């Protein structure tokens, strides 16, 4: 599994011009599932997301995690994260998980995040979504489990 995480001061997801997910200070995480992923991958990725130290401490250093500051989390499925872009000018999605696996692991990730007591918002799996955000820093990291 892969995640592209961004530290945001606000982020929202719309589907059909309706807001379906909205957070203030926190992390926007785009999630991609590969065909060999399992629940263990989702758990490891979630631990990285919520414990990754990308928020600044009193000295201005990135030393605090989402859990440390009790920030919000917006999870958005994005299969294009697992594209192979090494050859040619068209991405290959041969490593992407099938829709059933991907949706199951995305939903599992959401459930596990909520069990941690995190305020979680989401997009809608496989929907045509419009995502807007204010990236703070900018701070963006590519994580993999």
Q: Which residues are catalytic?
A: 78-80
Question: In this structure, is the dihedral angle defined by the CA atoms of residues 21, 26, 29 and 41, taken in order, positive or negative?
Answer: negative
CA 102 from centroid of its chain's CA atoms: 13
Dihedral (CA of 54, 25, 72, 132) sign: negative
Task: Say how many C-beta atoms besides its own lie within 10 A of residue 127's C-beta.
Answer: 14
Residue whose tokens read 């990754």: 52
């Amino acid at each position: 599994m892969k995640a592209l995480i961004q530290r945001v001061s606000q982020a929202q997801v719309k589907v059909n011009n309706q807001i379906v997910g909205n957070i203030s200070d926190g992390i926007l995480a785009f999630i991609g599932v590969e065909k060999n992923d399992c629940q263990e991958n989702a758990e490891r990725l979630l631990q990285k997301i919520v414990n990754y130290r990308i928020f600044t401490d009193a000295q201005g250093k990135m030393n605090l995690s989402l859990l440390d500051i009790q920030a919000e989390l917006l999870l958005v499925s994005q299969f294009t994260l697992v594209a192979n872009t090494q050859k040619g000018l068209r991405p290959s999605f041969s490593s992407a998980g099938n829709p059933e696996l991907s949706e199951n692991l995305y939903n599992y990730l959401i459930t596990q995040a909520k069990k941690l007591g995190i305020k979680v918002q989401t997009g809608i799996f496989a929907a045509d979504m419009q995502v807007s955000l204010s990236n703070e820093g900018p701070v963006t990291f590519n994580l993999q489990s």
